[in-house]
Structure 1
Amino acid sequence: MTAEDWEARVAALWERLDAMGREDFVEAMKALAAERGEDDPDALFEVGGAHDSTGYTEAAVGYYERAVGAGLSGVRRRRVSIQMASSLRETGHPDRALAMIEEEKSRGSDEYDDALAMCEALTLAKLGRDREGLSVALTALAPHLPRYQRSTVNYARGLVGKDPIR
């Protein structure tokens, strides 16, 4: 079995998520992960995601932490930060989630920037910092608007007491 074959099987299983029961989906993902070994970072990430997507959020965090510890890299490394921060936020650890988001933002920029901003906005709201969260969300939204990008960014900056961009 090649890595590409395994990835295709993982993708196919994710496509069936809504048609499967929670436990069946998690068990199927665990079986796929077992093919890669118990310390494979990609497999651990996928099992974490399976737990997360089926409502076993607390269990997901442990798998995510193991994946990072095992050397998770590439796009899954970026995704694990978003998914684990979301799980931490929802299980009563929003401060830890925000620290993780801030660390991930310092790693650079990619196609997951908006997802990271969404997670940051929700985490700030969970911490009672709604205006900051709204500012983050509006700033992430602005580039996608057909017009009013500059105004939107300036309104977002104003929410948190920053000067407008001139």
Structure 2
Amino acid sequence: MKSWDERIDDVWAEAAGDEVGDDTIAHIDALAAERGPDDGRAEFERAGARDSAGRPDEAVALYRRALALGLDEDHRSQCVIQLASSLRNLGEFDEALDVIRAEAARAPDGPYRDAVATVHALILASAGRPAQGLSVALLALVPHLPRYHRSMTAYAREIAESDT
């Protein structure tokens, strides 16, 4: 018999490339129910299903509950990123920035640092600060460049100032 994680992965694999809707939510909710109402990972998966279905207003409360209940480090980072993204989608830019900046400060060298930077850049762009968003994106790319770190960092910082 497959593990709970494997069955969750199967639901997401089945939904890949398709529009996520009520069927995916129902499958995720059924699996989450196996773990009970006080399981952070189950709440995270429920939130993700709603988020993927374009229901960020429903996802936000579940992401917050998942974080309050506790998650392993990997899923905690994913949850914070997805929460910030959902807040952005709802137009809650200040809160989204607070959430994503806290994550960037908490794990500046974590495995999700580029995802954090990407969401940070999107939030800034959506909040009407596209040059600052571009700067964040460029600064995230700098470590991946074979050369030009100093100059590209300086340019990215210079661009950010054009929104002020």
Give the TM-score normalised by structure 2.
0.89
CA distance in 1, matches of 2:55, 2:32: 17
Pairing of 1:107-118 with structure 2 (within 5 A): 107-108=106-107, 109-118=109-118
Name 2:137's counterpart in structure 1: 137
Q: 2:26 aligned with 1:65, yes or no?
A: no
Query: How many angstroms does 1:84 deviate by?
Result: 0.5
Q: Structure 1 counterpart of 2:100, which letter?
A: I
Name 2:8's counterpart in structure 1: 10
CA distance in 2, matches of 1:132, 1:20: 32
Closer/same/farther in 2, CA of residues 21 and 121 from structure 1, 3 Å limit: closer
CA distance in 1, matches of 2:20, 2:153: 43
* Runs ≥4 residues deviating over 4 A: none
Query: How many angstroms does 1:150 deviate by?
Result: 3.1
CA distance in 2, matches of 1:111, 1:56: 27
Q: 2:150 aligned with 1:160, yes or no?
A: no
Name 1:164's counterpart in structure 2: none
CA distance in 2, matches of 1:21, 1:49: 10
Aligned length: 159
Q: Structure 2 counterpart of 1:30, which letter?
A: D
Q: Structure 2 counterpart of 1:116, which letter?
A: V
Equivalent pairs: percent with the same residue? Answer: 46
- Residues 74-112 of structure 1: CA deviation (Å, up to 9, x unaligned): 111111111000000111201100001111122123110
Query: How many angstroms does 1:21 deviate by?
Result: 5.5
Q: Structure 2 counterpart of 1:107, which letter?
A: R
Q: 2:22 aligned with 1:28, yes or no?
A: no
Q: Structure 1 counterpart of 2:157, which letter?
A: R
Query: How many angstroms does 1:40 deviate by?
Result: 0.4
Closer/same/farther in 2, CA of residues 131 and 63 from structure 1, 3 Å limit: same
Query: How many angstroms does 1:148 deviate by?
Result: 3.2
Give ranges in structure 2 of 5+ residues lacking alignment.
none
Give the TM-score normalised by structure 1.
0.88
Aligned-partner SS, 2:36: coil
CA distance in 2, matches of 1:52, 1:157: 32
Query: How many angstroms does 1:146 deviate by?
Result: 3.8
| Range moving further from structure 2, 137-146 or 90-99 | 137-146
